[in-house]
Chain A
Amino acid sequence: MTIGIIEIGPFQLILALVFILAAGGASLYHGLKLEKDLLVGTIRTFAQLFLLGYVLKFVFRLDSVWLVLAVFLFMIVFAVRIIRSRIKEKQVSFFWPMLISMTISYALVAFLITGVVIGANPWWKPQYFIPLAGMLIGNSMNAVAISLDRLLGELKKRRQEVEMMLCLGADYREASKDMVKNAMRAGMIPSINSMMAVGVVFIPGMMTGQILAGADPLIAIRYQILVMVMLVGSTTILSFLGVRIVCRRCFGPAQQLLLRPERKRGRKTKMAKGTQP
């Protein structure tokens, strides 16, 4: 069953800006000083999405595997950059290992979904591969950022405990086991939670998009189930790989913890009792 989609014209788009004007008005009224950010955000939304639309049209028309893979890699590079910028801790560098592990795991999951489960022919068919890979990267990027932020924060906060174990003959894996576990859980919980709430609390964007485009809701839900399962898979793989790779980089060649507490002038902190794990 297909229904013709209602096209949104330039006038309708401009009309929708009334919401931005309302938000700007509220910002001015309450002195939030968000007017500039709202303006830049609106311009960027228009510019980036129009650009994406033209790029996708171009990629779909050329139908080249190399171009599809280039777009895929471009998205991953930006995802790693965003993850890096979201993490407050800057003492450990992990751009390249994360880029490699993300490329491998996303490629694996995206191939399994488009080539094996959906059975797209060829497996890189841009109409399937790019949107699915985009959802995969966009969603699991948040999970990785949460995991890594948690890992680095805990390693720093629980430095005494880690070093105590190292001093007693633990290797770095044993000394950081608890922190790695917590970081992986923190990254995986949001995607598991959304599996619990999907269809009851919210209707996901992809499904909404397909229904709006005229797809049968029963077809749309199957795609959505695939996406949800794919997200759990990719966040698991990435949390596992990312956390382990970054954890190793937090320790030096002698397995000494490299993360140092920030030194503040005139203030010395001391632990008065045993650390809370």
Chain B
Amino acid sequence: MNNDNIIDFRSVTFGFPEQVTLFHELSLSIRKGSFYLVKGPSGAGKTTFLRLINRLEEPISGEIRFRDKPFDSYSPPVLRRSLLHIQQTPTVMDGSVAENLLLPFSFKNNSHLTQPGQEKLEALLREVHLKDVGMNDHAMNLSVGQIQRLCLVRGLLLSPEVLLLDEPTSALDRESAQAVMALIERLNVESGLTILIVTHRTYGQGRIKPRYLRIEEGRIEESS
């Protein structure tokens, strides 16, 4: 294992019950602080790949390691908080924007984390073009695009080491999508946050040269 790697797949095989194997003997490494774009045709397993990293799915065989330790050596909630996955379908609870943003701090595994103040929350919302959204607004009344950004901000409050984003800009207009990508790029550059993004969008002229993971027919090929 190279110290530059944060996640290692070792001969990982995965398939859904009663379906053909999706990944067979998959081995690859995710470099710490890198910015990956995950590409591939629909149904190739892009979302499943992210879910395997987040332990929402478990391999049939093989091993996945985080910081050179097997996944089993971390408690699942702690691992998931570090390898934060933001779902393709943005989901909020019935409550205010503030209640939704602070939801993770109500979980006992996050009780040691400092709850962010109103200023920090507002600054992050501004950065993703949600300055018009009030803390007391009902989260379920927001548009899909606004919920998508709210979910991203909520995840970032947990200071993850790896951010797994599944189509984070799918419901956004061009301007909002650019703002979201700019925030993600800033976190990658300034905080060294490792990013994996599943996206169908073409990556524009950002300030980062991304690495590509192409998933097709059960294989993943890395390129830069």
Contacts and interface: CB of A to CB of B under 8 A. Distances in A.
Nearest to A271: B89
A275 B57 CA distance: 22
Interface string B40-78: 000000000000001111100000000000010000111
Interface string B136-164: 00011010100100010011001000000
Contact of B81 (A168, A252, A272, A274): A168
Given A169-B80, A169-B107, A273 B147 contact: yes
A174 B107 CA distance: 7
Contacts of B56: 163, 166-167, 256-257
Given A169-B107, A170-B107, A260 B158 contact: no
Interface size class of B (residues with CB under 8 A): 35 or more
A170 to B, nearest CB: 4
B87 interface: yes
B93 A171 contact: no
A168 B94 contact: no
Contact of A255 (B77, B84, B85, B154): B77
Interface string A155-181: 000001101111111110010000000
B87 A164 contact: yes
Contacts of B54: 167
Contacts of B191: none
The residue among B78, B103, B142 with the most chain A CB atoms within 10 A of its own CB is B103
B109 A171 contact: yes
B144 A256 contact: no
Given A170-B109, A252-B58, A270-B89, A260 B81 contact: no
B90 interface: yes
Interface in B150-187: 151, 154-155, 158
A9 interface: no
B27 interface: no
B144 A169 contact: no
B91 A271 contact: yes
B108 interface: yes
Given A166-B77, A166-B80, A167-B80, A275 B107 contact: no
A265 to B, nearest CB: 12
Contacts of A161: 91, 93
A18 interface: no
Contacts of A275: 91-92
A128 to B, nearest CB: 46
Interface string B85-109: 1110111111000000001100111
A277 interface: yes
B110 interface: yes
A277 B87 contact: no
A122 interface: no
A255 B54 CA distance: 11
A277 B54 CA distance: 23
A96 to B, nearest CB: 21
A22 interface: no
The residue among A163, A174, A270 with the most chain B CB atoms within 10 A of its own CB is A163
A31 interface: no
A163 B91 CA distance: 9
A43 interface: no
The residue among A167, A170, A253, A270 with the most chain B CB atoms within 10 A of its own CB is A167
Nearest to B84: A167
A274 B92 contact: yes
Given A167-B85, A253-B58, A255-B77, A273 B140 contact: yes
Contact of A168 (B17, B89, B104, B140): B104
A121 interface: no
Given A161-B93, A169-B104, A274-B139, A254 B76 contact: yes
Interface string B111-151: 00000000000000000000000000001101010010001
The 6 nearest A-B residue pairs measured at CB: A169-B81, A274-B92, A168-B104, A164-B91, A254-B55, A274-B140
Interface of A: 160-161, 163-171, 174, 252-257, 260, 270-277
11 contacts: A163-B56, A167-B56, A168-B158, A171-B76, A174-B108, A254-B71, A254-B76, A255-B76, A272-B144, A274-B142, A275-B91
Given A168-B154, A254-B58, A272-B144, 4 more contacts: A168-B104, A168-B155, A169-B78, A171-B76
